[in-house]
Amino acid sequence: MPTHEKILLKNMDQPGYTGSLKDYEAVGGYQALRRVMKELAPADLIDIVKQSGLRGRGGAGFPTGVKWSFIPKDYTGPKYLCCNADESEPGTFKDRQLMERDPHQVLEGIAIACQAIGAETAYIYIRGEFRLGAKILEHAIDEARQARYLGENVLSSGVPIQVYVHAGAGAYICGEETALLESLEGKRGMPRVKPPFPATHGLYQKPTVVNNVETLANLPHIVTRGADWFASIGSPPKSTGTRIFCLSGHVKQPGNYEVPMGITFRELIYEHAGGMRGEKPLKAFIPGGASASFLTEAHLDVKLDFESVAQAGSMLGSGGVTVMEEGTSMVWAALRLMEFFYHESCGKCTPCREGSSWLVQVLQRIVDRRGRMEDLQVLADLCQNIVGRTVCAFGDAEIAPIVGTLQYWRNEYEDLIRESTAISTTSKELPVLALNS
């Protein structure tokens, strides 16, 4: 297996490492925060993160330092940081490991981000099902407060940074930043119309930054080792650093793999994860969570960076790579994913609310061998009428499985429909028995 330096998962490889404050301090934990509070002005800290090239690890991949710079400089009221820990994307489980196994790394990143944007309060919006993670974070926050890494007077600097854990109620849509803010405010989790954007009108209509768990966990290392160090890793200049990829499906060794951005899918699947679980060859894979379009065996040499995956017709997204072997029904796979999106639609936008239901019905009809050739055009038209017509990106995400499977495995749809025609023809030819015979 190729060797490289881990950044975020390194501590977890240490024998006996528990993630406690004592263990984290023993490996240099909170030294970056000490430097930030004593030596770096917020503007300098933002410039360091910009120079590092760090981009959001939650899905969109927006440059982190640039996002911070949108906070109004002359605003004197409350500002907020929200850590997006609502990891609900199918096939994605990296943030959960970071929170449960090394919570102080996340908390130090949160404190650094708060200092950068001038926020005194941060909320960790955690997926409701992550009860263990929430409990571990609460304990870690208590430890950090007692050590004065958090609280009213962080490291005797006079700066207050308070962090609170808020558990969601199981809504996938709350991974979208404005729906997350609505939920935090006690409202129904539905996305907001933008503009205005969270940078000026976020939580409680105050300037707010929303960052992913993995994004924040990188900050202590960037501060300690420098922007140039981080920018030299991966696929500069636009995809720097390492990335944790969640590998699942038909592979020998599923799990979380932290690798430099820019390696190929072939290396990730065959060298790090040991290849396919059985004798069947790879047929398809999802490169970035369920909302990313399928790719094929022909894309194995595509690089794992934002630009390369986009050029291949998909997106790096949340980093959830799901592998499927030959023999997997791609129509069935599209149906299963579409059922998930239909269930998770918040219902705010008509194209998404009604279109997702219609798409499930048509796919189910095809899988049940009751389809018609005109159903393929119906699917294409429905997808076209959803994309770009919803308040958030959910509508674009939910059609990805259908668009991808129609592009690469249209023949599987047609074969199922031909089976439907054959069954229909055969049933018509059967003799009809009289009831009194």
Span 385-412, pLDDT tens digits: 999 999 999 999 999 999 999 999 999 9
What is the residue-wise DSSP string for 382-435?
HHHHHTT-SSSTHHHHHTHHHHHHHHH-HHHHHHHHHHHHHHHHHHHHSPPPPT
Tokens 């899988």: give the residue: 367
* Mean pLDDT, the chain, whole residue set: 94
Which residue, among 148, 135, 143, has the nearest Cα to 100 in the 3D structure?
Answer: 135
Amino acid 175: pLDDT? 93
Distance separating alpha carbons of residues 110 and 210, to the nearest angstrom: 11
User: Which is it for strands 242-249 and 320-325: parallel, antiparallel or unpaired?
Assistant: parallel
pLDDT interval class at 59 (50, 70, 90)? confident
**Is residue 430 over pLDDT 50?**
no
Distance separating alpha carbons of residues 354 and 105, to the nearest angstrom: 42
Average pLDDT of the segment spanning 13-24: 96
Amino acid 434: pLDDT? 43
**Is residue 203 over pLDDT 50?**
yes
Distance separating alpha carbons of residues 282 and 327, to the nearest angstrom: 9
User: Which is it for strands 121-126 and 295-296: parallel, antiparallel or unpaired?
Assistant: unpaired
pTM of the model: 0.92
- The DSSP 8-state label assigned to residue 248 in this structure reads E
**Is residue 436 over pLDDT 50?**
no
Percent of the chain clearing pLDDT 90 (strictly above): 91
Amino acid 3: pLDDT? 65
Percent of the chain clearing pLDDT 70 (strictly above): 96
Q: What are phi and psi of 313, to 5 degrees?
A: 100, 15
pLDDT interval class at 432 (50, 70, 90)? very low
Report all structural domains of the chain as residue ranges with CATH numbers, in order of start.
11-231 (3.40.50.11540), 241-325 (3.10.20.600), 330-425 (1.20.1440.230)
Q: C-alpha 139: how far from its chain's center? A: 25
pLDDT interval class at 426 (50, 70, 90)? low
Respond yes or no on whether the N-terminal peptide bond of residue 196 is cis (omega within 30° of 0). yes
Average pLDDT of the segment spanning 70-97: 95
At 117-171, the pLDDT tens digits run: 999 999 999 999 999 999 999 999 999 999 999 999 999 999 999 999 999 998 9
205: left (phi over 0), alpha (psi -120 to 50) or beta: left
Q: C-alpha 21: how far from its chain's center? A: 27
pLDDT interval class at 428 (50, 70, 90)? low
**Is residue 102 over pLDDT 90?**
yes
Amino acid 120: pLDDT? 97
Average pLDDT of the segment spanning 234-245: 93
* Sign for the pseudo-dihedral over CA of 124, 128, 129, 131: positive
